[in-house]
Structure 1
Amino acid sequence: MQKSPSPMNTTEEEVRVELAKLYRLVAHLRMTDVVDTHISARVPGSQHHFLINVYGKLFHEIGPADLVKIDTDGNIVEPEKEGHLRVNKAGFVIHSAIHMARHDIACVIHTHTADGIAVACQADGLLPISQHALKFHGRLAYHEYEGIAVDMGERERLVRDLGNHDAMILRNHGLLTAGSSIAAAFTNMYFLERACQIQIKAQSGGAKLHQPHSAVIERAAGQFDPIESNWHSELFWVSACRMLG
């Protein structure tokens, strides 16, 4: 099986190609908010640099050269691009916080989908009512809304709230997932987004919701084994990329 290159074990150019694919795939799946969300990947061989989209391009337009390498202070570290390109400041704050604190994470995805924000606005958050949601049972963090994420002081609180999880709901804001590879981060986001879509559709029907027994919830959550999930993420990513043609 073909595997997705990961910033942990490959070259920067390969990561640029895979990250550009991820931007286009997120666009294909209609998870974008025009230009106002962001995805990042760690640069191989560095704990301090990561790639993020140039601010202003639509996700389906993103190619490897449209990814900007920045450091954890928000500085563009490619001389030929400095002064000519911008990155989203809120994107820098959110992504730099996680890349600085979690060196096990290679890729971070943040979205503003309608269903993701709708669940983020609900007091009870994500409900354990679907198999997609149970993937995140006991593995989902929450972060309180503090306004547009341009305050550098919020980085500490983002990291604290994420803890050792790879998925987080940003209250009143959107969704965030991460992973040890681009494939893992994408798979996490796909399933979290689908879980939110299912919840909103189930609630919109107006009928009383059925929730599995607590023992079944725990059993199902345990069936999402991390090692098996890594294998599945690679398969899922390679298959999903074929939708790009």
Structure 2
Amino acid sequence: MATQLKPRVECSEAEWKARQELAACYRIFAHLGWYESIYNHITVRVPGEDDAFLINPYGLLWEEVTASSLVKIDGEGNKVGDNPYPVNLAGFTQHSVFHKNLDHAHAIVHTHTPDTMAVCSSAGGLRTSNFYSCFFAGEVGYHDFEGITVRSEEGVRLIENVGQNKVLLLRNHGPVVMGNTIYEMFLLYYMLQRACEVQVKTAAMGDAIEVPDEVIAVHQRDRDNQLTDEFGKLDFEAWTRKIDRIDTSWRD
């Protein structure tokens, strides 16, 4: 593991840890191809600060994001601190409403990967036809497409449609995945991405086999028996080691 770097921005130790984990998350997503040029967003609340969260600097590829380049913004969209990069309005508008209103929305990701967008654009949405999708049965919200998410009034409907779920599929658009920790968000997204990839491939082969409700119940019961407060941490740490072997500049 690379040596811990001294923070390049003035912040608490807790915020610096959050910055490094978020920067690592951006690099992992970039490595896996789960990003859209300089667009899309992953955000994390700043520990101990009301309404403040960290977001990617608008204009950088995800593979270029570092801990110190992340932009800190408050609940009104104002930048906190001296950072030269702008913030994508769509990223603030969408993510701020979840951070403000949902306790479990500590970390949030929104992407435009082809397979997740394909599922969001299909009439049936996410189907219970594979190992991964069955994890999400009954735990996904849907929100009808209203155009680019830059108008604050859409926030009310976003909150209504996500409910207490951690996954919201924006129809004709893409997914939003959130978690109590960055580790949980990462692993939930990993499984959702896999579920969508398999669904798209299965659709190309013909009719999918739907899993019966009683089997899904057993599947989710056994899933719940494995859940801990550190759900996803081992996965996240493993992928962090992977990107460290490629490039450690994200830590700076």
The amino acid of 1:101's aligned partner reads: N
In 2, are the aligned partners of 1:40 and 1:51 still within 8 Å (CA)?
A: yes
Which residues in structure 2 correspond to 1:87-166 (within 5 Å)? 87-166=87-166
Per-residue CA shift, 1:139-178, capped at 9, x if unaligned?
1111111000000111111111111111111111111111
Go from structure 1 to structure 2 and tell me whether the alpha carbon gap of 1:171 and 1:31 turns closer, same or farther (over 3 Å shift): same
Which residues in structure 2 correspond to 1:1-245 (within 5 Å)? 11-78=14-81, 80-81=82-83, 84-205=84-205, 207-225=206-224, 228=227, 230-244=229-243, 245=245
Give how far 1:96 is off: 0.1
Secondary structure of the structure 2 residue equivalent to 1:191? helix
Q: Percent identity?
A: 35
In 2, are the aligned partners of 1:47 and 1:103 still within 8 Å (CA)?
A: no
In 1, are the aligned partners of 2:59 and 2:85 still within 8 Å (CA)?
A: no
The amino acid of 1:145's aligned partner reads: F
Secondary structure of the structure 1 residue equivalent to 2:219? helix
Secondary structure of the structure 1 residue equivalent to 2:129? coil
Aligned length in residues: 232
The amino acid of 1:209's aligned partner reads: A
Match of 1:7 in 2: none
Aligned mates of 1:37, 1:121 — CA distance in 2: 17
Aligned mates of 1:25, 1:58 — CA distance in 2: 12
Structure 1, gaps ≥5 residues long: 1-9
Go from structure 1 to structure 2 and tell me whether the alpha carbon gap of 1:47 and 1:227 turns closer, same or farther (over 3 Å shift): farther
Larger mean CA deviation between 177-186 and 218-227 belongs to 218-227
Q: Deviating runs (4+, > 6 A) in structure 1?
A: none
In 2, are the aligned partners of 1:28 and 1:60 still within 8 Å (CA)?
A: yes
Go from structure 1 to structure 2 and tell me whether the alpha carbon gap of 1:43 and 1:231 turns closer, same or farther (over 3 Å shift): closer
Aligned mates of 2:218, 2:180 — CA distance in 1: 25
Give how far 1:194 is off: 0.7
Secondary structure of the structure 2 residue equivalent to 1:228? coil
In 1, are the aligned partners of 2:110 and 2:177 still within 8 Å (CA)?
A: yes
Per-residue CA shift, 1:104-126, capped at 9, x if unaligned?
32100000000011000111100
